[in-house]
Amino acid sequence: MKQILEIRNQHSCFDGIQSFYQHTSQVIGLPMRFSVYQPPQAQQNPVPVVFFLAGLTCTEETFMVKAGAQRYAAEYGLMLVTMDTSPRETGIPGETDDWDFGAGAGFYLDATAQPWSNHYLMESYVAHELYGIIINQFPTDKNRIGISGHSMGGHGALTLALRHPEKFRSVSAFAPVSAPIQCPWGQKAFTHYLGTNQHNWRKYDATALIEDGYRTSAILVDQGLDDKFMSEQLHPEQLAQVCHNTGQKLTLRYHSGYDHSYYFISTFIADHLKHHRDVLGS
């Protein structure tokens, strides 16, 4: 059954269409927002799709406004999809107290601990509900869908690609939280969303998932060496080590002078979209 989508804004962009939507999510139980860039090729034929998961404090607008991705998506014939980073206005006490937890920080997981488990079901929202909306209500090739993300969203892209390889055939990430079990951001979020049993945390930790036998297509990761979060929060070296140990294909590129910002993302977004185009097939 098709969902009713409210168009909030729509713009012409590189001969394609950039749109922002709101709908009542059956999974979240609240209104959710997402955005879609349809390249000009989508006017004639179904096209491949790349989901992009944004980071802490971001919304469905951040990537579309800041990354400069539409130029390359139009060239490569890729549809881009982004979504808000959490439910909003759930009424949960403390939801907006911290910038790195709660509103704007859903971590792309399905919370199992109360009160968060009532609405913070971002894995199911992205991988099932929104995924279904995109393949059923937009001109997409459902056999050619990839996923990417930044920081917290990079964590989400890696874990969703590993947990749902039948859905996401290509994957990349910018400065991902690669081992959230080992960092303050992840420990804080997982304790509240998933409870204190750390065994349950492993299914949302890319390094642990690969260690436990999960696999995906070749991963592309870019990391800035001037990223202030790299040593404490991101741990790309742990991802590199587990991929080396298990044979999971990984291209990890370090970049001197680059930080954690969208200036970094916009510099290398063309490489990432080309990676997805090449893996998914033109």
- Residues identified as active-site: 151, 227, 260
172/169 Cα distance (integer angstroms): 11
Conformational region of residue 108, where left means phi above 0, alpha means psi within -120 to 50, and beta covers everything else: left
Structure tokens, 164: 């749902």
Q: Print the SS3 string covering the chain.
A: CCCCCEEEEEEEECCEEEEEEEEECCCCCCEEEEEEEECHHHHCCCEEEEEEECCCCCCCCHHHHHCCCHHHHHHHCCEEEEECCCCCCCCCCCCCCECCEECCECCCCECCCCCHHHCCEHHHHHHHHHHHHHHHHCCEEEEEEEEEEECHHHHHHHHHHHHCCCCCCEEEEECCCCCHHHCHHHHHHHHHHHCCCHHHHHHHCHHHHHHCCCCCCCEEEEEECCCCCHHHHHCHHHHHHHHHHHCCCEEEEEECCCCCCHHHHHHHHHHHHHHHHHHHCC
256/45 Cα distance (integer angstroms): 40
